[in-house]
Structure 1
Amino acid sequence: MILDLREFLKQQHRVSLKELATHFDAEPDAIRGMLGKWISKGKVRKMSLEANCGGSCCKCDPTLTELYEWVDKV
């Protein structure tokens, strides 16, 4: 599944944790664990957002605003 995650990220380039969990029918924490492997290898980075959705209400689902990006090093 970790290789499938890699291929999906390469194709999509940037994707939310919610999209990943839905696509792979897995819990967000399980996906985070697999993402950690690619992050440690420098292949994926978690996108840092200043505010969840542009506001400060904190009502957004955090899995929608937690974005991951495949890093293509040249």
Structure 2
Amino acid sequence: MLLAIRSLIQTRGQASLSDLALHFRVSPEAMQGMVEHWVAKGQVRRQSCGSCSGGCGGCPSARAADIYLWTGPDPRSGS
């Protein structure tokens, strides 16, 4: 599942924790642990809800609103 998570974030460029949890049908807490694997490897960066402009209308759960951004190599470059 870790490779599927990486692939989804890589393809989309970014994904929220809640979107990832829904996509893979797991709890946000379980998904956070899995996606943090890629954060630790430096391929994904977490942007917390507190760093956004507030345009979302408020977060029902601050952690579920975190956005994970792809920072690894460009998949089109073959690296």
Report the TM range for the smaller structure's normalisation. 0.7 to 0.9
Task: State the AA in 1 paired with 2:54.
Answer: G
* Higher mean C-alpha deviation, range 21-30 or range 41-50: 41-50
Task: State the AA in 2 paired with 1:60.
Answer: C
The equivalent residue for 1:4 is 4
State the shift of 1:53 in Å.
Answer: 6.3
State the shift of 1:50 in Å.
Answer: 3.5
- What's the TM-score, normalizing by structure 1? 0.79
Quote the Cα distance in structure 2 between the aligned partners of 1:33 and 1:51. Answer: 21
3-state SS in 1 of match to 2:50: coil
State the shift of 1:51 in Å.
Answer: 5.6
The equivalent residue for 2:44 is 44
- What's the TM-score, normalizing by structure 2? 0.74
The equivalent residue for 2:21 is 21
Task: State the AA in 2 paired with 1:42.
Answer: G
Unpaired runs of at least 5, structure 2: 75-79
Task: State the AA in 1 paired with 2:32.
Answer: R
Matched residue pairs, number?
71
Quote the Cα distance in structure 2 between the aligned partners of 1:33 and 1:41. Answer: 13
